[in-house]
Amino acid sequence: MTVKDLIEELGYYEEDAEVIFEIDDDIECESWTEDRWGNKEVHVCSKLENTFTGTIHGDCYIQLGVKKE
């Protein structure tokens, strides 16, 4: 999925909808940080691909898996 594809996909959701990413695979993390509000930023060592995009409880839910090369 390209950035253009993702932007088009997200265009179907409400402007204030939350976007939830879930990685449904084993990955190796390079590093991760958490700010004082509990927001996490994770750097991974794998290329990911979209395996599912849908709506759950009004939020945009995107499931990712490791891209097989």
Q: What is the pLDDT of residues 20-33, one digit of tens each?
A: 888 888 888 889 89
pTM for this prediction: 0.68
Number of neighbouring beta carbons within 10 Å of residue 42: 13
Maximum pairwise Cα distance, the chain: 37
State the average pLDDT for the chain.
85
Cross-strand bridge partners of residue 59: 56
Contacts of 47 (CB under 8 A, 6+ apart): 66, 67, 69
Assigned token pair, 68 = 């097989």
Say what the pLDDT of residue 18 is. 86
